[in-house]
Structure 1
Amino acid sequence: MTTLTLTVVDIDDTVPGIRTLTLADADGGVLPSFTPGSHLVIECAGGANAYSLTGETAAPHHYVVSVLECPQGRGGSRWIHRQLGVGDTVVAHPPRSAFAPVLRARRHLLIAAGIGITPMISHLRSAKRWGRDVLLLYVFREGRGAYVDEIGSLTDNASFFTDRAAFLAELAPVLAGQPFGTNVYICGPSQFIDDVVAMAAELGWPPSRIHVERFGGELAPGDPFEVELSSSGQVFTVESGVSLLECLTTRGHSIPNLCRQGVCGECRVTVRSGTVMHRDLFLTDDERRHSMMACVSRARGRVELEL
């Protein structure tokens, strides 16, 4: 898999608990362009993590990511916050997006909580560049709002909330009052996403116009499901709280893997039949029709794999 070697050229710790890194090509070259809503997978202590790119999208000389410190996490954020310094190098995989703006949308409604604002920044840049109609709702803890000043330079159509009740009071009428053809993009903690999606569904939003970006590795245990392997006919059950990757590995199957959070693409397996509940940040919609990431995704009922 192609990787990039990037140098840390600046670190910003202005927002408590959030470290913003500016990364440049180690040889000073132009970096690959990316689609708004893309993330960068950085190989960290303990594996690899995906971080949303917030800088310029076209032929950039720098990549910018913001990382929330998670003391109880898998170690990537602690490594970035406590060990990484200006002048250090990191290994990253080229940008990839599963959260791009729908270009035909009449309006783009962006709804973010906390560090979930990061993928919205490139959406705002794109909307400003191309003159697209955009509206942002952003809720965060007092003193913990990231990119607040930059948002003000990108749009006049943004509302900020530091009180959850005030945010929820505004959310329902905003969702209910959007013109036909609006697409909504939601990023934040899992429960936040689930609550907003549920409200949108109750108000009649079609699933095709609801787009979510979940944090890698933030997963509920999930229900048990059955797996059939096409090569051998073997059938087994993946229990709640256990990943498909773990089950395959314990049964002697060698499945490449790196991040175990659905961001790197290493543990991709081919699906012959069944309904997959995709939880990754890697596969495109087309790829999800016949593939799943064994580390995080699950199935509903039974799935047949080409293994």
Structure 2
Amino acid sequence: MTLTSDVPVRNSAGGTELQLTVAETIALTPTVRHVRLVDPAGRTLPSFTPGSHIVVTCGTGPGGRPRRNSYSLTGPAFEPDHYAISVRLEESGRGGSQWVHDLQVGDRVPVGTPRSAFAPILTARHHLLVAGGIGITPILSHVRAAVQWGRSFEVHYAFRDGDGAHLDELHDLCGPRLYIYTAREVFRKRMGQALLEQPIGTHLYMCGPTGLVDDLCERAGRAGWPDARVHYEHFRVGDLDPGEPFTAHLTRRVIDVTVDSGVSLLDALESRGVAVPNLCRQGVCGECRLPVMSGGIDHRDLYLSAAEKEAGDCVMPCVSRANGPRLELDL
């Protein structure tokens, strides 16, 4: 697992990679491991916006392809001396979380530079931060920034009893502004109240399982929250129906690619040597977005807006499929 390069390199997805070293690993809960990564030469790492994530190359997956997972940064954001991630072990996942849990001090890890799609709104009057389970990781970086800059905030954190990560740190940072829940109905009742009690100008931030995020988005809408003040990150999509086989026609290459039932469009394209930038392969990050020329789309992602899905001019090939026998792509 040891790599040799100490300088940034270009990865196959077109981004910049840092070769970092594992400085520390800590078991936060029975299922969550915290990993601290540093530059092997002791250099300061690039700063990032709270809510950012890094893409970690977690060994290789099926077919020998690099397995890349996105993990939220939990540590200090300005000129950090380390990057810190906390990863829940997913027994039914693609193996990336197990790879992280197996890391040892001194191992080298290829890491992309930070990316942000979940940043705090600096003009917000108040920040209502909500986390479910391991969704606390980007929320923790929001909390650090709010404390550092004296911003108004509160945190609502729901988790299974005995499996709350970063609790001590959150108590120290938040004090009475932290609300924790281990009972689902108590959490739902309190959030119903919280959505109605916030001052005008509050922004809502959520990270957690799809069910939690979708439920709160719906309830916020009913409570009159403008869409512009509601921000969220999903974990990933669940198991998907294998779907019907279809043909993807690549208009620039003038070739047809058969996509069998149970095979993703992304996998089918890669099997034909068509490189598509991708990260999560779960319909969450938006990295693999492709333009569609014609054909119906069975949208299964969590990235595109309702309006974008209605337009029918793009597809997330990692999870979405044709809603018919043929899909024409601008590739």
Q: With the length of structure 1 as denominator, give the TM-score of the two structures.
A: 0.82
Query: How many Å apart are 1:153 and its aligned residue?
Result: 2.0
- Which SS does the other structure have where 2:141 is aligned? helix
Contact in 2 for aligned 1:255/1:267 (Cα 8 Å): no
Separation in structure 1 between the aligned mates of residue 205 and residue 328 of structure 2, nearest angstrom: 32
Separation in structure 2 between the aligned mates of residue 201 and residue 238 of structure 1, nearest angstrom: 38
Contact in 1 for aligned 2:237/2:301 (Cα 8 Å): no
Contact in 1 for aligned 2:46/2:80 (Cα 8 Å): yes
User: What residue is the counterpart of 1:57 in the other structure?
Assistant: 77
Matches within 5 A, 1:22-171: 22-45=36-59, 46=61, 47-81=67-101, 83-156=102-175, 157-171=177-191
Query: How many Å apart are 1:164 and its aligned residue?
Result: 1.1
Residue identity in the other structure for 2:151: R
Q: Give ranges in structure 2 of 5+ residues lacking alignment.
A: 1-14, 62-66
- Match among 317, 325, 328 for residue 294 of structure 1: 317
Q: Which deviations, in whole Å up to 9, do the C-alpha atoms of 1:66-120 show, x marking residues without a partner? A: 0001111110111222x21111111111111111111122211111111110000
Separation in structure 1 between the aligned mates of residue 284 and residue 247 of structure 2, nearest angstrom: 24
Separation in structure 2 between the aligned mates of residue 233 and residue 98 of structure 1, nearest angstrom: 35
Separation in structure 2 between the aligned mates of residue 202 and residue 300 of structure 1, nearest angstrom: 31
Query: How many Å apart are 1:235 and its aligned residue?
Result: 9.8
Q: Does residue 269 of the first structure (1) align with residue 264 of the second (2)?
A: no
Q: With the length of structure 2 as denominator, give the TM-score of the two structures.
A: 0.77
Contact in 1 for aligned 2:71/2:87 (Cα 8 Å): yes
- Match among 4, 21, 25 for residue 35 of structure 2: 21
Q: Which deviations, in whole Å up to 9, do the C-alpha atoms of 1:46-74 show, x marking residues without a partner? A: 30111110000001001110000111111
- Match among 2, 11, 31 for residue 25 of structure 2: 11
Higher relative contact order (CA 8 A, sep 6+): 1
Calculate the aligned-residue CA RMSD, in Å. Answer: 3.5
User: What residue is the counterpart of 2:202 in the other structure?
Assistant: 182
Query: How many Å apart are 1:246 and its aligned residue?
Result: 3.7
Separation in structure 2 between the aligned mates of residue 247 and residue 14 of structure 1, nearest angstrom: 39
Q: Which deviations, in whole Å up to 9, do the C-alpha atoms of 1:24-51 show, x marking residues without a partner? A: 0122111111100001111113301111
Query: Identity rate of aligned residues, in percent?
Result: 46
Query: How many Å apart are 1:298 and its aligned residue?
Result: 7.0
Contact in 1 for aligned 2:73/2:137 (Cα 8 Å): yes
User: What residue is the counterpart of 2:330 in the other structure?
Assistant: 306
Q: Does residue 211 of the first structure (1) align with residue 231 of the second (2)?
A: yes
* Deviates further, 215-224 or 67-76: 215-224
Separation in structure 2 between the aligned mates of residue 240 and residue 213 of structure 1, nearest angstrom: 29
Query: How many Å apart are 1:294 and its aligned residue?
Result: 3.1
Contact in 2 for aligned 1:48/1:264 (Cα 8 Å): no
Tell me how many residue pairs correspond in the alignment.
299
Residue identity in the other structure for 2:96: G
Q: 1:255 to 1:71 in 2, by over 3 A?
A: same
Q: 1:226 to 1:211 in 2, by over 3 A?
A: farther
Contact in 1 for aligned 2:237/2:283 (Cα 8 Å): yes
Query: How many Å apart are 1:209 and its aligned residue?
Result: 1.6
- Which SS does the other structure have where 1:64 is aligned? strand
Query: How many Å apart are 1:191 and its aligned residue?
Result: 1.3
